[in-house]
Amino acid sequence: MARQYSLKRQILSQRIYWICLIVLNNVALNVEANDVNCIVYNEEFMECRWSHTEGKPNRTLFHWYTSRPPEECGNYIQENGYNVGCYFSKDKVIEFEDFFIYTNGSNDSENTSTLSNPYQLQNQVKLYPPANMTLNMTENNELLLSWETPAKLLKCRMYEIRHRSNKDKDWQSQVITAQTKYVLSSVDPEKFYTFQVRSKINQYCANTKLWSEWSPAIQWGKDPVQPEGSAGLRTIITVVSLLGLILLVIFATKNERLKVIIIPKIPNPGRSFDPLFNNHDGNFQDWLGVPKDALEGFNSTYHENVCIVTESPVNPSQSGVHGGSYEQSGMTQIPGKLPILATKGEIQPKSTSPALLFSDIAVFVESSSYSITKSG
């Protein structure tokens, strides 16, 4: 009896679906290509979304399964007052059964409708990314990456792991099935490694291409780059410092007292010399106040006569032992006597004996001016 009731219900749903098709084919409607996209998130709820174009009429959504009659969306998703999607709770999601969607929009100028092809909702499942990831170094110099996953659909999940070091430009990836761990061999302790994981339903449980989002990155090793938080903090400190400096300059220009404190005036040394020119006419001694007696004590009273030295040719035949004679001119000072003026040729010894020559040299030394003349 229950089987007959189920069969009748399925036939009724199919008839309703064909009636909708007949109506769409016979009524003058603008039937557009289906732009509705339905995603079942982690088998917990479903959202069917479409795009809204400015100027187009607001759209309503009807949905049904093969075993259920059509019904309108009970929870619309709106943006700027327009319907852009429909939210389905978990009890509204049925897998391994055809699911149909019909949208209709109308205003004073046009009617627009879309009819989707049947969905198999098990193929529309998008899982959440893996959580609670851990990374440990083993005794064999290997990195062990592990994560947690719900017990539900554990055997239906597959994972993609990608990793790279700070020396690599591209990611290296690997796909594994029914495992929640990954081992990276030959780890270089001088490198910095980054890992991410995502998951989806495998081909044994559904036919889907919807991968989850990538998990948050987990890292291991020596980080050669400073954390982003430090760079952001330095940026904030720099900006705040510049703003503070700008505000300080603005306040300093408007507040004279603050300006004197921050930027003290440089004294003018020229004002100290004003009395030198205004009161003493540039007389440096008067300006300093030095007594005249002290200044006269520095004047020189010593006088020295000029001693002129000339050289005369000497006749080699008359030079004797030393081969020459000498002349003295000028003032000759003899101790205890007045200076004697000697003229040229007055003292011209003809003898060349050594005794006479040395006595004459003594006279020359005492003379303040002398000349040597070579006899010709």
In one-letter notation, the amino acid at residue 215 is S
DSSP symbol at 344: T
**Triad 314, 317, 320: Cα angle to 5°:** 85
- pLDDT 10s digits, 94-107: 999 999 999 988 76
What is the rounded CA–CA span in Å between residue 33 and residue 347? 144
20 and 103 inside one domain: yes
Q: Of the ranges 57-66, 227-236, 356-365, which is most confident? A: 57-66
Let me know if residue 308 belongs to a domain. no
* pLDDT tens string 127-169: 999 989 999 988 888 999 999 887 777 888 999 999 999 888 8
Does residue 35 form part of some domain? yes
| In a domain? residue 310 | no
The identity of residue 60, as a single letter, is T
Residue with the larger pLDDT of the pair 179 and 14 = 179
Domain end, chosen from 124, 142, 174, is at: 124
Q: Of 190, 221, 252, which marks where a domain is finished?
A: 221
> What's the full length of the chain, in residues?
376
- Does position 265 have pLDDT exceeding 50, yes or no? yes
Judge contact between 20 and 71, C-beta under 8 A.
no
In a domain, 232, yes or no: no
Strand residue runs (E) in 94-204: 98-106, 111-115, 119-120, 125-126, 131-137, 143-148, 157-165, 172-177, 181-184, 192-201
pLDDT at 271: 63
More confident residue, 290 or 217: 217
**Number of structural domains in the chain:** 4
Tokens representing 93 are: 């999601």
**Where residue 33 sits, what CATH number does that domain have?**
2.60.40.10
User: Which one of 75, 101, 124 terminates a domain?
Assistant: 124
Label the pairing between strands 82-88 and 76-79: antiparallel
| 140-154, 222-236, 278-292 — most confident range | 140-154
Query: Worst-scoring range by mean pLDDT, 110-114, 175-179, 326-330?
Result: 326-330
H helices then E strands: how many in the chain? 7, 20
State the residue range of the domain holding 332.
316-366
CA R_g for the chain: 59
Q: Is residue 113 one of the residues assigned to a domain?
A: yes
**Residue 162 falls within a domain, yes or no?**
yes
